[in-house]
């Protein structure tokens, strides 16, 4: 049986990716708990708006935007935080602004507020920023990131460039005109396209945008530098990628596609986790159990054979669905987590999943202090 032990050895950053609803958050939490059991200081960053990680870890008040220590009886430390895109964006702007006055002008601008909340890719961008900041934080040995539930998992890798690309935008160039005293914002009325945009969305909206770009002048360079240092962390050999999938064709296809995209960027997948696979009962096939059901005279026993046949059928179909992913892993570990008889929404559930993801050595069981 493969486990995550070897693929994650020596990792300083662990990125969990996959389509929505496959259990990325759960896997990230389980990895965090296990590494903390092994005396590491781990921080898990989650972006999931359902705050499932908080629930699972027993944090009734939810997670904050600052790392929060989880109360676990383990040799290491487990911290968790929830990514707050807007808080993070403010922080990034303040770190890059020439002075407090410039930072204020930007963060108070309505266009900026919209951008922090709505520009596609912003969430992914801030996730990669958080990862970079936490990686440099002395309090932690390992950062585990649960990527946004994005259908385009790749956004995460392209995220650091989002703002830089936005600033390279033609509209920005249309708005700004270099003059002797630096950049100057053009009169919007002078530009037919801007006039037209103003007619569509309203001129006050456009005025906000102009004010934003004006306030932002001079910060582009800092943002671009930052983007490239985040990018080099994302492709570092100590950053490991764990694909998470459900045993269904659609999520497996997406995981396979993501593995290909990573490879095209020279990054290998360290492991894949297939969550919630149906357990296998006994060594026979579904067809054999169905045959037994047909031959069995006692109706109650026949019903049990039928049940066994049905569960084996699902397990067999799932195995077929997962096969393409196994083929694409180049020998990286494929770890299956069986569907449990109960639902996972507490610490005990996470600990149980841990026994499937990792080899359990004689480490004391995790429990709340």
Shortest spacing between CB 111 and other proteins, in angstroms: 6
Shortest spacing between CB 131 and other proteins, in angstroms: 21
Beta-strand ranges (E) seen in the chain are 13-17, 41-46, 68-69, 77-82, 142-146, 176-179, 182-185, 239-245, 271-277, 333-338
Q: Could you write out the three-class secondary structure of 24-45?
A: HHHHHHHHHHHHHHCCCEEEEE
Asked if 327 interacts with other proteins (CB under 8 A), we say no
Stretch that binds other proteins, among 82-90, 203-211, 328-336, 361-369 (CB under 8 A): 203-211
Instruction: Give the pair of three-digit tokens for residue 158.
Output: 């392209």
Query: What distance in Å separates the CA atoms of residue 291 and residue 202, rounded to the nearest whole number?
Result: 71
Asked if 60 interacts with other proteins (CB under 8 A), we say no
CA atoms within 13 A on the CB side of 305: 17
Shortest spacing between CB 341 and other proteins, in angstroms: 4
Compare residues 222 and 284 and give the one whose CB is closer to other proteins: 284
Contact 215, 102 (CB under 8 A): yes
Asked if 196 interacts with other proteins (CB under 8 A), we say yes
Give how far Cα 281 sits from Cα of 1, 278, 286, 289, Å: 17, 9, 10, 11
Span 223-282, contacts to other proteins by CB under 8 A: 246-251, 279, 281-282
Question: Across the chain, how many H-helices and E-strands are there?
Answer: 16, 10
Stretch that binds other proteins, among 9-17, 47-55, 135-143, 328-336 (CB under 8 A): 47-55
| Among 213, 211, 172, CA closest to 193 | 172
In the list 119, 167, 183, 290, the residue contacting other proteins (rule: CB under 8 A) is 119
Compare residues 250 and 327 and give the one whose CB is closer to other proteins: 250
> What per-residue string of b and e applies to 315-342 under the rule 16 or more CB within 10 Å gives b?
beebbebbeebeebbeebbbbbbbeeee
Asked if 284 interacts with other proteins (CB under 8 A), we say yes
Asked if 89 interacts with other proteins (CB under 8 A), we say no
Compare residues 15 and 246 and give the one whose CB is closer to other proteins: 246
Asked if 123 interacts with other proteins (CB under 8 A), we say no
Asked if 21 interacts with other proteins (CB under 8 A), we say yes
In the list 183, 314, 326, 352, the residue contacting other proteins (rule: CB under 8 A) is 314
Shortest spacing between CB 182 and other proteins, in angstroms: 22
- Tell me how many residues contact other proteins (CB under 8 A): 67
Query: What distance in Å separates the CA atoms of residue 232 and residue 226, rounded to the nearest whole number?
Result: 10
Asked if 208 interacts with other proteins (CB under 8 A), we say yes
Contact 7, 13 (CB under 8 A): no
187: exposed, middle or buried (C-beta count within 10 Å: 0-12, 13-18, 19+)? exposed
Asked if 52 interacts with other proteins (CB under 8 A), we say yes
Q: Which residues would be at the binding site for other proteins (CB under 8 A)?
A: 19-22, 49-50, 52, 55, 111, 114-115, 117-120, 149, 151, 166, 169-171, 193, 196-197, 199-202, 204-206, 208-209, 246-251, 279, 281-284, 292, 298, 300-301, 303-308, 310-311, 313-314, 317-318, 320-321, 339, 341-343, 345
């Amino acid at each position: 049986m493969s486990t995550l032990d070897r693929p994650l050895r020596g990792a300083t950053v662990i990125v969990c990716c996959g389509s929505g609803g496959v259990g990325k958050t759960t896997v990230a939490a389980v990895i965090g708990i296990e590494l903390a059991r092994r005396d590491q200081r781990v921080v898990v960053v989650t972006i999931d708006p359902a705050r499932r990680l908080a629930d699972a870890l027993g944090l009734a008040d939810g997670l904050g935007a600052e790392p929060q220590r989880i109360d676990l009886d383990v040799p290491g430390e487990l911290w968790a935080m929830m990514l707050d895109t807007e808080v993070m964006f403010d922080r990034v702007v303040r770190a890059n602004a020439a002075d407090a006055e410039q930072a204020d002008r930007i963060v108070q601008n309505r266009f900026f507020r919209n951008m922090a909340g709505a520009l596609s890719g912003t969430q992914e961008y801030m996730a990669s920023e958080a990862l970079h900041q936490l990686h440099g934080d002395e309090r932690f040995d390992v950062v585990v990131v649960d990527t946004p539930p994005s259908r385009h998992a790749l956004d995460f890798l392209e995220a650091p460039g989002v703002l830089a690309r936005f600033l390279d935008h033609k509209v920005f160039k249309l708005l700004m005109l270099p003059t002797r005293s630096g950049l100057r914002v053009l009169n919007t009325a002078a530009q037919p396209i801007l006039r037209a945009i103003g007619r569509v969305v309203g001129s006050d909206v456009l005025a906000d945008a102009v004010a934003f770009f004006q306030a932002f002048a001079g910060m582009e360079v800092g943002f671009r530098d930052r983007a490239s240092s985040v990018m080099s962390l994302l492709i570092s050999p100590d950053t490991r990628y764990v694909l998470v999938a459900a045993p269904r064709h659609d999520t497996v296809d997406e995981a396979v596609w993501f593995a290909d995209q990573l490879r095209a960027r020279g990054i290998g997948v360290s492991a894949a986790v297939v969550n919630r696979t149906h357990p296998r009962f006994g060594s026979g096939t579904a067809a054999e159990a169905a045959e037994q059901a047909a031959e069995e005279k006692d109706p109650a026993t026949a019903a049990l054979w039928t049940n066994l046949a049905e569960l084996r059928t699902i397990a067999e179909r799932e195995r077929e669905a997962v096969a393409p992913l196994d083929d694409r892993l180049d020998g990286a570990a494929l770890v299956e987590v069986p569907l449990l008889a109960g639902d996972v929404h507490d610490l005990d559930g996470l600990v149980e999943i841990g026994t499937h993801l990792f080899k359990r050595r004689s480490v004391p069981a995790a429990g709340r202090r």
